[in-house]
């Protein structure tokens, strides 16, 4: 099954992105699924490398990397949203890329299911 996740919330402070990544990770582990993630708005910060969180706190960077490993690395980050937050391409974690609205439109047509968090 082709599954698209569109995440909008900040990576920390809200559990929306965390819960979306949890479900994406669980689906990506199943070999019959292909999972793609598109990060928009404040969720663009989830793809920024070098995240430092308190000990014992979840790390969205690691969660994203797990999905990338299990699902061929289809994680797009809204370019306009990156610009608005001062995130440069060289700051993105491995396996993610600067995306476009056209890419999101293509992925939406590709998907059998779309989850929005």
User: If you write DSSP's letter for every residue of 44-104 in order, what string do you get?
Assistant: GGGGBSS----TTS--HHHHHHHHHHHTTTEEEEEHHHHHHTT--GGGBPTTEEEE-HHHH
Q: What is the pTM of this model?
A: 0.94
pLDDT digits (tens, 9 = 90+) for 9-63: 999 988 999 999 999 999 999 989 999 999 999 999 999 999 898 888 899 998 9
What local confidence, expressed as pLDDT, does residue 72 receive? 63
Both tokens of 14, joined, read 């809200």
Give strand pairing partners of 78.
99
Three-class DSSP category at 2? strand
CATH number belonging to domain 2-116: 3.40.1260.10
Half-sphere exposure of 76 toward its Cβ, with a 13 Å CA cutoff?
20
What local confidence, expressed as pLDDT, does residue 73 receive? 60
């Amino acid at each position: 099954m082709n599954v698209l996740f569109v995440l909008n919330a900040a990576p920390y402070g809200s559990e929306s992105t965390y819960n979306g990544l949890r479900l994406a990770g669980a689906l990506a582990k199943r070999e019959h699924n292909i999972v793609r993630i598109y990060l928009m708005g404040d969720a663009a910060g989830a793809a920024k490398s070098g995240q430092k969180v308190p000990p014992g706190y979840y790390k969205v960077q690691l969660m994203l990397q797990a999905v990338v490993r299990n699902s061929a690395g289809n994680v797009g980050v809204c370019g306009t949203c990156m610009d608005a937050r001062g995130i440069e391409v060289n700051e993105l974690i491995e396996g993610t890329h600067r995306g476009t609205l056209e890419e999101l439109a293509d992925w939406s047509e590709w998907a059998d299911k779309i989850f929005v968090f």
